[in-house]
């Protein structure tokens, strides 16, 4: 089970040039099984460029690591539910946060043991 109470987590991507792990603090939401995030600057962020090159990621919440693969949400219904989950967590459901409405919606599908 994924801790949904934490305000932020850390996504660890593999540097597309260096091959080294890179950790970035980001906001997230979850449905209990998957982790959702929004890249506010879309493809401009290095961590997004890294995940496009290699979708294998680790995501840390507190001291717990979740291993999986990240993908860009392309299904309109899934994308809408990600944005709604992020709005609920970070704005109490109030619209007015542009990065949630316009950023790149991402899903981390944790690996199953």
Structure confidence by residue, pLDDT tens digits, 24-54: 999 999 998 899 999 988 989 999 999 999 9
The alpha carbon of residue 97 and the mean position of all alpha carbons in its chain are separated, in whole angstroms, by: 17
pLDDT at 22 over 80: yes
Instruction: Indicate the pTM of the whole model.
Output: 0.87
Distance CA 96, CA 61 (A): 27
Domains and CATH numbers, the chain: 8-110 (2.30.110.10)
DSSP designation for 79: H
**Residue 86: its pLDDT value, please?**
92
Distance CA 65, CA 13 (A): 13
């Amino acid at each position: 089970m994924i801790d949904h109470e934490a305000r932020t987590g850390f996504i660890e991507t593999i540097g597309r040039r260096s091959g080294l792990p890179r950790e970035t603090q980001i906001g997230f939401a979850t449905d209990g099984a998957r982790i959702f995030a929004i890249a506010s600057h879309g493809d401009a962020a290095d961590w997004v460029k890294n995940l496009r090159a290699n979708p294998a990621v680790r995501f840390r919440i507190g001291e717990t690591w979740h291993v999986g693969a990240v993908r860009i949400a392309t299904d309109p219904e899934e994308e809408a539910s990600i944005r709604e989950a992020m709005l609920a967590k970070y704005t109490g459901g109030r619209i007015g946060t542009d990065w949630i409405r316009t950023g790149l919606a991402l899903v981390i599908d944790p690996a199953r043991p």
